[in-house]
Amino acid sequence: MTHSDELFQRAQAHIPGGVNSPVRAFKGVGGKPVFFARGEGPYLYDVDGNRYIDYVSSWGPLVVGHTHPEVVAAVQEAAAQGLGFGAPTAIEIEMAETVCRLVPSMDLVRMVSSGTEATMSAIRLARGFTGRDKILKFEGCYHGHADSLLVKAGSGALTLGVPTSPGIPLALAEHTLTVSYNNLDAVQEAFAHFGGQIAAVIVEPVAGNMNCIPPAPGFLEGLRSICNEYGSVLIFDEVMTGFRVALGGAQEFYNVTPDLTTLGKVIGGGLPVGAFGGRREIMEMISPLGPVYQAGTLSGNPVAMTAGLTTLKLIQTPEFYQRLSQQTQKLVKGLLERAHDAGVPMAANQVGGMFGLFFTEEEEVTNYYQATNCNLDRFKLFFHGMLGQGIYLAPSAFEASFVSSAHGDEQIEATLQAAEQVLTEL
Ligand code: PMP
């Protein structure tokens, strides 16, 4: 029995399923999760001493790799000054100034401690601002686990939403409309029926929770104009795409301006941070300026702000995103070539430092239906094959993967060599 296996067994005695977030349990791929001891640059080391090239990056935050020396030093220094005060600190201003400069659609920004809090708060704000109850989201997009957002489409084209989890009142889920990603006609239809009642459209501008699916040309622009027409708030959930696909996020990459933006992951540099912000007129509705309530004991925590801000400094070097994107492209292109040579049908999507592989005969994957119809058994074999070769991919076929600036040619080449062997044996 490995040390990882022992820990997993022990963990299950007092932690539900042995994990503090479900996807970590390897349910999607079978087998037992690996327990990690430390990370360094592009590498993870497990408790048994095995080394892996990491493409999970803590699910996105580690865009400069594990334990970047500047981030670690800054965090140590901040921690020595105090772990938190629950009162204003100067670094919160610096964080807000940085975020609003890098993401110009954000006039005001409020810090929170997770992506879930960011989207939950943005939805409440949009409802408070418009005085409307309904929201529209997209099938396969994940926005954290707030009640209004854990909702899937009802059966039939234009039915109201149904909860994806017990514990969510139907009366609440009914206010969430769900339509297919990249389908503007469905959005139009929903607005034709419910337009005056829809407070907000929330979208992952590149979907990263059904593997990786970019917006079709015109999709985000279409959402912008429909929201303008009906007076609904357009929320880009950039928890994953923010500081990941471009310095200014997907809104810069695709040149479409939302009313509100939610951020998470990279903004915390690996520590628990989220944020939401946007147009001044809307954000001024938040307490203490306005009547929409929102708060947090640990919000703007100085140690977390330091990890995030130091990371945000590192990514502002010229050509950071050009290189990140090039490295990711090199990896994806190499993987497609090797799959082709091995006779394994595969498609891939990539935007900036995020990518996704699909075991499918389709040339392009553009929505949830296609993503869920890929060959999952083949994915599982591929995942475990790669794990055995020291490559740590997301343990689910429905998660995007991430490249960091610490991934150099050496790691990309090693990954491609491993993939060549694994794909040939599939
Ligand atoms: N929105 C998106 C787009 C996400 O990818 C995630 C997490 N994967 C969330 C929101 C929720 O963030 P958190 O897990 O920090 O609550």
Domain residue ranges in the chain: 3-63+318-425, 69-314
| Residue 374 scores a pLDDT above 80 | yes
Q: What is the pLDDT of residues 268-304, one digit of tens each?
A: 999 999 999 999 999 999 999 999 999 999 999 999 9
Catalytic annotation, pick one of 46, 54, 55, 237:
237
Tokens of 261: 């933006």
3-state secondary structure of 356: strand
| 142 is known as an active-site residue | yes
Asked whether the beta carbons of 399 and 208 are under 8 A apart, the reply is yes
pTM summary value? 0.98
Q: How far is CA 175 from CA 160, 214, 300, 411, in A?
A: 7, 26, 31, 46
| 377 is known as an active-site residue | no
3-state secondary structure of 34: coil
DSSP state of 193: H
Asked whether the beta carbons of 226 and 202 are under 8 A apart, the reply is no
Q: How many other C-beta atoms lie within 10 A of the C-beta of residue 143? A: 27
* CATH C-level class of 69-314: alpha beta
| Residue 154 scores a pLDDT above 80 | no
Asked whether the beta carbons of 100 and 109 are under 8 A apart, the reply is yes
Asked whether the beta carbons of 191 and 226 are under 8 A apart, the reply is yes
pLDDT of residue 152: 87
| Residue 239 CA to ligand 1 centre (angstroms) | 6
Average pLDDT over residues 128-139: 97
| Residue 59 CA to ligand 1 centre (angstroms) | 9
Tokens of 247: 């310095």
Ligand 1 within 6 A of 115 CB? yes
Question: Quick check: do 3-63+318-425 and 69-314 share a fold?
Answer: no
Q: Return the closest-CA partner of residue 311 out of 322, 319, 301, 320.
A: 320
Ligand 1 within 6 A of 264 CB? yes
* CATH C-level class of 3-63+318-425: alpha beta
Q: For residue 59, give the ligand 1 atom closest to its CA.
A: 8
Q: What is the pLDDT of residues 321-353, one digit of tens each?
A: 999 999 999 999 999 999 999 999 999 999 999
Percentage of the chain exceeding pLDDT 90: 96
| Residue 413 scores a pLDDT above 70 | yes
